[in-house]
Amino acid sequence: MTSTSDASSTPPSAAPTPLPAVGRRAVLGAAAAVPVLAGLSGTASAAPAAHRRPPRLKGGGDLGPNVIVFDPSTPGIQARLDEVFARQEEDQFGPGRYQFFFKPGAYHGLNAQLGFYTSVSGLGLSPDDTTIHGDVTVDAGWFDGNATQNFWRSAENLALVPANGTNRWAVAQAAPFRRMHIRGDLNLASSTYGWASGGYIADSRIDGTVGPYSQQQWYTRESSVGGWTNAVWNMVFSGVEGAPAQSFPNPPYTTLDTTPVSREKPFLYLDGEKYRVFLPALRRNARGVTWGNGTPRGTSLPLERFYVAKPGDSAATLNRALEQGLHLLLTPGIYHVDQPVRVNRPNTVVLGLGYATLVPDNGVTALKVADVDGVRLAGFLIDAGTVNSPVLLEVGPRGACRDHAANPITVQDVFIRIGGAGPGRATTSMVVNARHTVIDHTWVWRADHGEGVGWETNRCDFGVVVNGHDVLATGLFVEHFNKYDVQWNGERGRTIFFQNEKAYDAPNQAAIQNGSLKGYAAYKVGDHVTTHEGWGMGSYCYYNVDPTIVQHHGFAAPERPGVRFHHLMVISLSGHGQYECVINDTGAPTSGTNTVPSVVVSYP
């Protein structure tokens, strides 16, 4: 859920301002390109300019001024953390992008407060390699205790010993908490216990108790918790040791013993003094963390195998790096692309740091993935441009049909935004055509506040369209689209946890009319689909422009034995609009101004 209050914003028209040098920058040799010239003699003088090949790009190099690396002996760490937080605490739609890295070792007396577009990570192979005796904190003082807009920040690969025994992580969407070890308790609400709307935990161990308190919904995957205190609307667990027993709807816990298919997000780490990117192995029917018993399973690549991209690099440069066989590491900043970034090689990694952001110009698709095995997209934001893009992210071309079961494409912490930072438009945000793709935590959001927001101003009809067969989504957050938020056409699709709000700003009933139906479902399974399954799924409405709008249902699917749903809910927020049913024509209507879920435990 997001607040209806607008926030001041700055369009992302410039690169982030570098901070003065206080910590250590990560430098890994020269970043200069090595020219290779065409011509029979192989010499520059013998090669006419018209026949020269472009300079060959080199991998590795400097990670740039907005990647800030600390070791235990670095002076002024707290001051540097505070300096970035002062810039980013309220800068919801600004250009700043920052990545903090902590080298392995022990750190004492720190409180890393995280604002917008700020990521903090350890550089060990295990979270326990890097221990902060202190906190990594997200609170909501900037928004009067309301945590529903604490988006776009992350914590990964650290062990924390909280100063008072409890770490606070009061977040909403697009704020992943991965590979963390909390040697104490974890509080998911603000210090005032105001509204909160998150969230996502994966591959983490919380020795103590997790307290959601005011958190409305949450998904936890393949982790270990010492306890879990309460639930508001929708708490979902898959493969979590210590998770509460399934009890939906009272309390609303959905608990799966394992996750069917998973592969953890790639991450940067130090091997001695050399940077490498670890690529965790695929797991099936997984439970618990990957790192609890020694070295995690997987492979790694030296940073020299990655083109270390900087803001200002063109799409042509990024594509040239990919064509050379390099992977992409997108350092923090904003990248305008005037042609699609094309990932055509199997097993390519595109990894962003500090919420690196792709902005498509002239109506292009920001990134396209071929129908190949093992591509990993992780850790970046796509922000729609001012000219309408038919699609912002395409995973597999139309008609993709290859079997990727043994080595699927993964899309992890890849977030998409239409509007908010300025006018943006698209027809569809994400299309998944490739079979067996795993979408592991995404927030696809048509903005309801900020700059460039209006029913037609930041129009985008569809959030996520899945055409490929055998696709799995774990942690699917999709909100505010003009028509279907999710349209799932592929066979044997599965979703574990879905969070949705219908578009706030529909001007009237006619604007959302879907033929004879009142409104477009939040989650629509194609009429021809014979097999589909979903667990722990919610849709909410808040039609604040016209509170008389009626939405027939939150979910729509063909009535077949192979199409099954578990633990569905719809909610009218304060009576601003109503649902007549939960799924198809089943489920009680929402009730007046009471913000109380209407649920269906099992369908059909």
Quote the CA–CA distance of 145 and 191 in Å, as a whole number. 7
Q: Which of 156, 304, 501, 580 is catalytic?
A: 501
Is 264 annotated as catalytic?
no
SS3 call for 509:
helix
∠ CA 124-130-132 to the nearest 5 degrees? Answer: 155
Count of residues in the chain: 604
Amino acid 533 reads E
Give all strands (DSSP E) within 514-562, no chain letters.
523-525, 532-541, 550-551, 555-556
- What token pair was written down for 254? 């959905």
Give all strands (DSSP E) within 316-432, no chain letters.
327-330, 334-337, 341-343, 349-352, 357-360, 367-369, 376-383, 389-395, 410-418, 426-432
Give all strands (DSSP E) within 40-145, no chain letters.
67-70, 98-102, 105-113, 118-122, 130-137
Quote the CA–CA distance of 134 and 109 in Å, as a whole number. 5
Scanning 447-600, the segments in alpha helix (DSSP H) are 509-512
Place of tokens 């006018």: 423
Place of tokens 């399934």: 246
Quote the CA–CA distance of 171 and 186 in Å, as a whole number. 12
In angstroms, the Cα distances linking 258 to 159, 179, 221, 266, 568 are: 24, 17, 9, 21, 20
Quickly count: other Cβ atoms within 10 Å of residue 407's Cβ: 16
The DSSP element (H or E) to which 390 belongs, if any, is strand 389-395
Quote the CA–CA distance of 237 and 221 in Å, as a whole number. 6
Burial label for 285, CB within 10 Å (0-12, 13-18, 19+), is exposed
Instruction: Name the residues annotated as catalytic.
Output: 501
